[in-house]
Structure 1
Amino acid sequence: MDLQPFVTAYAATVACWPTSSREVAMWCGRQEFPLPAQVVADWQRGEDVRAHLLVEGRDPLGYGELWLDAEEDEVELARIIVAPSARGRGIGRELVRGLTALAWETGHANVFMRVHPDNDRALRCYRGAGYLPVDAHLAAEWNAAQPVDYTWLRHAGPGDHLPPPACP
């Protein structure tokens, strides 16, 4: 498997991976189902967004983004999703590990992610990849402006990996 920079030619493919409106909401907080491909394409316009696609041969299997914040000296992993046909095979774990490595390579001091609180499979996966919950007060502060009380996680650090559980 290879983690490659995302190209918008795959926007329609990634947009069709959520299988329900609930999954769209948990993945990216949107309400549209199916998600329009243009939404995924538009995400790439963010100056501080680095999107990636995990591929096997020519088959796209997973998508995720790095949101770089130089002012806060941090990177956030975001919008992680695995193709429905590839779920349950450890693809999510592989994707998270690759994105985390790229995040640390940026030289920022911290790597975070937020997860919908009802996404138990993702939470198990991310914790197994070395992500731990942030302090409750910090999570509450960050959630004050959010539509959902996300579970906020911080990566333990470069090279710190726990044994991985099965991922979606």
Structure 2
Amino acid sequence: MITVVGEDDLADLLPLMREYCAFYGTAPGDDALLRLARACLADPVATGVQLLARTADGEPAGFATIYWLWSSTEARPIALMNDLYVAPVARGSGLGRALIDACAALAAERGVTVLEWQTAPDNHRAQRVYDATPAERSTWLTYTWELAAPSSTTQPDQ
């Protein structure tokens, strides 16, 4: 069963988010992860939506996060599936594909016609799942520039 995350789901979502971050070698901390989840809860129309997948017996087993963006080069909205995670015990069960399909359905409900996502080049297991979808591999490379956090006394230009 896959549902949109609500406030009551955060206790089940948080351990999965931690595992996902650990998989990619990061550990942003529970407060930061909950702030992200609550940002989606506060404004799912402008920010994004998280989905929670549960096994047949109701155990949390995976999640996905979709952010709503625009593509300037195509002048249309896109859905960015920024996160997709299935717990090791549920891998190979079809849950990952079900989460992808649920993300695509949510995007289509909004009138968004493109769902995009990325994965690490060495995440071959995920790539096998992705290659079995109608999605095509992109030719784009991703660059990441880690900017320094603003000091608490610095205010953005108004």
User: Do they superpose with TM above 0.5?
Assistant: yes
Q: CA deviation at 1:40?
A: 2.5
Structure 2: unaligned runs, 5 residues or longer? 146-158
Q: d(CA) in 2 for partners of 1:9 and 1:15?
A: 10
Which protein has greater RCO, CA pairs closer than 8 Å, 6+ apart? Answer: 1
Structure 1: unaligned runs, 5 residues or longer? 26-30, 148-168
Identical-residue share of aligned pairs (%): 20
1:80 counterpart residue number: 84
Q: d(CA) in 2 for partners of 1:14 and 1:38?
A: 14
1:150 counterpart residue number: none
User: What secondary structure sits across from 2:19 in the alignment?
Assistant: coil
Q: d(CA) in 1 for partners of 2:122 and 2:113?
A: 28
- Compare the two structures and name the one with the higher strand fraction: 1
Q: d(CA) in 2 for partners of 1:86 and 1:37?
A: 23
**Are 1:66 and 2:59 matched, yes or no?**
no
Shift of the 115–63 alpha-carbon distance from structure 1 to 2, 3 Å rule, reads same
User: What secondary structure sits across from 2:136 in the alignment?
Assistant: strand
Cα RMSD (Å): 2.3
2:112 counterpart residue number: 108
Shift of the 38–85 alpha-carbon distance from structure 1 to 2, 3 Å rule, reads farther
1:41 counterpart residue number: 34
Residue type of the alignment partner of 1:66: I
Residues 22-60 of structure 1 show CA distances to partners (whole Å, capped at 9, x for unaligned) of x134xxxxx22xx63333312221441200101134211
Q: d(CA) in 1 for partners of 2:63 and 2:36?
A: 12
1:89 counterpart residue number: 93
Q: d(CA) in 1 for partners of 2:80 and 2:136?
A: 14
User: What secondary structure sits across from 1:131 in the alignment?
Assistant: coil
2:49 counterpart residue number: 50
TM-score normalised by L of structure 2:
0.71
Residue type of the alignment partner of 1:36: G
Q: d(CA) in 2 for partners of 1:117 and 1:106?
A: 30
